[in-house]
Structure 1
C-alpha cells in the first residue's frame, strides 16, 4: 500500500482576505494545535467549560481501547444548551430558524418560539408513552417540525433515529426494526420540484411486521387534510394541544445515547452509528465555532438534510448550541431555476454557506451567469462537505461565489466521527485538492497497512491515532463491527480512506480504500483520476472504476458528465484520455471513457462507484438503500 505513485500536487495556494483571520475565533492555528497535542484533555475540558452542565465531570476521558468515555459522570442535556441558555441569556427574540419551502413559502421562528414548541412536543411524546431510553424514528421532509421532533426527543432522553425522507419503505422498515423504534414521526407528504411525494403510504408499508411501533405521529401539511384512520395514528399538532407548556430537560449522563444514525455499508445492511450526549455536544459546538467560524450575527445555511450526519451536526446541534440563526430549505438547487439558491443567499444575507462538491460542480455546469445575477456580498465563509473538493471546483467556488475574498473550507469527517476532523483553518493558506490539516484536538496520520507512517507524497491509509469527544461509541447491535474500526490497522481508528500528505502537513483525500485502483502494481486513488478529468473544460463531473484486466490487474473506466455546450464524440473521449495522461502519467490513463447523463449518487451527494462497478461487471450491487434515484 505504501507503493509510491506520482501525485501531481497543485503547488499554488490561496489566501482569503486578511480581515477574515484577524476576526476569526482561532487566531493562531499552529499555537492552538500544538497546545492541544501537549494536553488533549485540557484542550477539550476548556471547550466543555464554555457550555452549561448540571453537574461537572469526574474525569475528562477514560480510554480502554477501543472504548472511550468522555466527561465521565457529568450531567447535562443538549437541548438546555441549544435552547434554554439562549432564551434566558438575551437571545429569546433572536431568529433561530428561517425556513423556505419548495413552493417559496417562508417561516421565521425565534428561540422563544422554538423553545416553547419543543417543550410542548416533548410533553406530547410523553403522553404517547415515550420514556427516557426509548427510540423514536423520525421520517420527515425538511421542515421546522423535523427539528422540533429531534430536539423534543433529546429533551426527554429518548434516542432519535432520523431516516432521510427520500428513503423507500424497505430501507425505512429495516431501520425501524433494527432500532426497535417505539414511535414513528412522519408527514403526509414532502414537496420536491413542485411535485408531491407521498410519505405516509411508505410508512404504512414500512411498519408492517414491525411490532415495536406503538404510534405513528403524522404532520398533515396538505390541503385537504388526510384522514387518520388507524388507532395508532395521531396528528403532530394535536398531541401538543392538551399538554403542559413547560417541560424540564431530562437529566442525562454525558455517556447516555443521544441518537442512532444509519449509514450505508459497502456490503451488508446499513450500520446504526451510536452517538452520546456529552462528547458529541462538545465536538459539534467546538467545530461549528472554530472551523466554520460562526459569529453572533451570522446566518448559516448548511444545504444538507437532518437525515444525514451533516444535518445533525451543522444544521441542528452545532449552530443551535452557538445560538446562531440557521436557514433550512426544501428547495433543490436548480428548481424553479438554477438561481434559486443564490437568490436565497441574497434575500436572507447568508454569511456561512456549507454545501457539497456535487452541487458546486452542478453549478459550474450551469454557467457563471446564474450566480452573477445576485448580490452574494453577504457571504463570509464557504464550506464543502461530502466528497473531496477537486481543484477545479475549489477554484470556481473561490472565484465565482466567494469573489476571491472568502475562505473555502473543505472538510473531511464521517458519520462515525460526529464532527469535522480535517480542514484548512480560517485564514490559513488554502491548497486546491487538499482538505487541510487536523482540527485541534485531533491526531491523524497517513500510514501503510502495518500502521507505519509513509513519507510525504506517498499514498497510504488515513488513520486517527487518539480518541476524540464526538467519536461514535458503537454500531447499534453489532459491537464487533465497531471494534473493526479500531483493530484493522494497529490500534488506530481506520477511516477507510486513502490519503497523501504534503511537506506542509496538508492532507489530500484520494477516495475510499475500497475504491483504490491497482494498475500494473501501482495504487491510484479514484478521486485523483476524477479530479484530472474534471479539470478538462468539457467535463462537469466524473467517476472512475477499476475493471479486472489480465495484464494490469485493473484497467480504468471513466464515466463522464459533460458541461453544457459540449457534445459526445470519439474525438472528445480520446482527448479526455490524453488529458489524464498528461496530468497524472500513462499509468492513470483510462482505457475507456463513457459519456453519461447522470451518475448514481446517494441522497447526500456521494457518487456510488461500487454501483457503477456492479452494473459494469454484472455483480450484486449490495445495499442500495441510500441511492437517490
Structure 2
C-alpha cells in the first residue's frame, strides 16, 4: 500500500519506497480470477459465495451486520451459502423461472443481501430499489422491469406499495422480511418460507451473457432507464476491486453505499465477497461519531465511501477522529461524484492516508478510472484507467461519428472501448437510446475530462453542465473545488446563467459550515477568494447561500435542478432527489 505525502501548495506527491509500479497490463494474480462453472457457465453468486467453501473459507466471517440499535449478526461463508440457497429454493417454490425479475426494496439489512445473491443463484435477475423512494419511483421501475417478485419490509409495503401493486399486470408476488403476526393479504412471510426451504440449492449454470442485474438510472427528462448487466460482469468487479480498492482476502472492508444503488451492489456486496473478505454493514444512517467508532471496533482496513460523506466528516472537525484508534485503516476510497482536492488533502492530514478517488457510471457497471495503490495521487484527479481497459477523449462530429483527441491537456468526452466485462448490454426495451451511447466501437459517457502529460484524467463536468462564458469552456467542478477550500464552505454547486454579453454568467450556490453567517460580508469574501485563485474570467459573479444543496439520494449534487429552478424550466425526473431546501 502506498503511503503518500501531499504538498498542498504544489500538489507534489512523493510515493513511499515500496510503491508498486503502475502498469496497463492485467495481473495474472489468482486474486483477479474467477473459477467459473462447467460448460463455460458463470454465476455471480457462485463466485461471491459458494466457491469459497472448498478453499478453506467456509468458517470465515463473510458479513458482520450492525443494526440501528447496535445488535450484531454475523454470517460465515458457509452460512451465507446456505441462506442464499434457501432463498433460491423459495423462488422455485413460487414457481418462478430463471430470468424472472426480483426487486429488492429495503435498507442495509442482511436479508436484502441474501435476496440479491439468492436470486442470482437461482438464475433470476435482481433489481435494487432505494428504500427512501416514494411510491411513484418504485412503481415506474417495477413496471418498466416487469417485476415478478418484490422483497421488502412490512412497513415499506404498507406505506409505499400496497395501494397500487395489484394494478400491475401480472401482479408481482410480495415477500416480506419482517412480518409480525399474519402478513397482509396477498403477501408471503419470507422468514417462514426460508425456514422451510432447502439449504443446499444447486447454483444455476448461467451463460456469461445472461442478464443478472438491472440498475435504473435517471436522466434529465423522461422515464428511468434500466441498464442491463450480465453475469460475466463479475470478472470486472473482481479485477477493479483488486486495483482500485486494493482488496485482499485478509481485509476487513466497509462500503457505506446503500444496496439500493449500483455502488452498494457492485462494491458493497459482489466484489468484496468475491475476494473473500469480511464485509461490515451498518444499518444506521450517517453519524460521524458512530462511523469512527465502527471503524475502530471492526478494525476496518479498507473503507469505501462517498464525497458527500467525506465533506460531512470534514464539517464535523479534525478533533473527533483523534478520539478513536484507526491505525488498522490502510486504504480509503471515494466514489459518487468527483472528490475535491481539499478532501484528499484532509484525509491525508487527519488519517495519515489520502482518499483515492475513482470514476465510473451505472452503465459501466464497475470502476473504470482510479487513483489506486500502485500510483501517486494528484489531488482532484480521477486517476488513470484500470489495466485492461482502453479509455480515450473524443469529440463528437457529424453523423454520430467521433474524433479521437490525442493532445495533452485537451478537454473531450470520456469514451471507453466497448467490450469490457461489466459494460451494460442494453437499456431495457429502449434499443435506440442504447445505440445512441455508442459510436465506432466506443461507449460515449457524456462526461467531459482532460488528460495530463502523465496520463491522469481530470473531471470537467457533464457535457450538459459545462459553462461557456466569454469564449471559455468552464467546468463547474473546478470552481466548486476552489470555493470548498475556503473554511466557511461545506458544499458548493456552480451553474451557468444566460447572459447577453458573455453567453453564460457563472453563479455559485454554497452551503456553509457551522459558525459562519450567510451575510454580505462573507459573500464578498468568497467572491474575492474565487477571483484570487481562478481569475476574473472563471470566478463566479454571483453567490447564493443555501441551507442545503439538492442532491440525489446517492449524494450527487443536482446542478441541472438548480439551473431549472433558476430559469423557471421543467425540473425533469426527480425520483432520485433527496429532500432539499429551495
Q: Map of 1:387-406 to 2, 5 A cutoff?
A: 387-401=337-351, 403=352, 406=353
Query: Shift in Å at residue 108 of structure 1?
Result: 1.4
Query: Shift in Å at residue 453 of structure 1?
Result: 0.6
Q: Map of 1:125-140 to 2, 5 A cutoff?
A: 125-140=91-106
* Corresponding position: 1:51 with 2:34: yes
If asked which structure has higher relative contact order (CA below 8 Å, sep 6+), I would say 1
Deviations 1:20-42 (A, max 9, x none): x4xxxxx4323xx1x45xxxxxx
Paired residue secondary structure (2:55): coil
Question: Equivalent residue for 1:250?
Answer: 204
Conserved 8 A contact 2:344-2:354: no
Conserved 8 A contact 1:47-1:282: no
Cα 1:90–1:206 shift into 2, 3 Å:
farther
Conserved 8 A contact 1:141-1:187: no
Match of 1:330 among 283, 292, 307: 283
Q: Structure 2: which 5+ residue stretches go unaligned?
A: 1-7, 398-402
Cα 1:208–1:586 shift into 2, 3 Å:
farther
Question: Equivalent residue for 1:146?
Answer: 112
* Corresponding position: 1:94 with 2:60: yes
* Corresponding position: 1:581 with 2:580: no
Paired residue secondary structure (2:367): coil
C-alpha separation in 2, matches of 1:50 and 1:199? 40
Question: Equivalent residue for 1:121?
Answer: 87
Question: Equivalent residue for 2:140?
Answer: 174
Question: Equivalent residue for 2:547?
Answer: 597
Paired residue secondary structure (2:447): strand
Conserved 8 A contact 1:442-1:466: no
Q: Structure 1: which 5+ residue stretches go unaligned?
A: 1-8, 22-26, 37-42, 57-73, 190-197
Question: Equivalent residue for 2:446?
Answer: 496
Q: Give aligned pairs, total.
A: 567
Q: Map of 1:216-227 to 2, 5 A cutoff?
A: 216-220=174-178, 225=180, 227=182
Cα 1:442–1:11 shift into 2, 3 Å:
farther
Match of 2:169 among 186, 193, 211: 211
Question: Equivalent residue for 1:13?
Answer: 12
Conserved 8 A contact 2:32-2:238: no
Query: Shift in Å at residue 458 of structure 1?
Result: 2.9
Cα 1:270–1:15 shift into 2, 3 Å:
farther
Deviations 1:552-572 (A, max 9, x none): 111111110111222112121
C-alpha separation in 2, matches of 1:105 and 1:49? 34
Query: Shift in Å at residue 18 of structure 1?
Result: 4.3
Cα 1:140–1:200 shift into 2, 3 Å:
farther
Conserved 8 A contact 2:310-2:343: yes
Query: Shift in Å at residue 16 of structure 1?
Result: 5.6
Conserved 8 A contact 1:388-1:511: no
Query: Shift in Å at residue 212 of structure 1?
Result: 2.5
Conserved 8 A contact 1:123-1:244: yes
Question: Equivalent residue for 1:424?
Answer: 371
Question: Equivalent residue for 2:473?
Answer: 523
Deviations 1:328-350 (A, max 9, x none): 1122222xxx3110100000000
Query: Shift in Å at residue 211 of structure 1?
Result: 1.9
Question: Equivalent residue for 1:476?
Answer: 428
Deviations 1:456-513 (A, max 9, x none): 22322111134311100111110111111103xx542111111111111111112211
Question: Equivalent residue for 2:22?
Answer: 29
RMSD value over aligned CA atoms? Answer: 1.9
Deviations 1:47-91 (A, max 9, x none): 7982212236xxxxxxxxxxxxxxxxx312221111111122111
Query: Shift in Å at residue 314 of structure 1?
Result: 0.6
C-alpha separation in 2, matches of 1:141 and 1:188? 13
Cα 1:618–1:594 shift into 2, 3 Å:
same
Paired residue secondary structure (2:396): coil
State the TM-score, normalized to the length of structure 1. Answer: 0.87
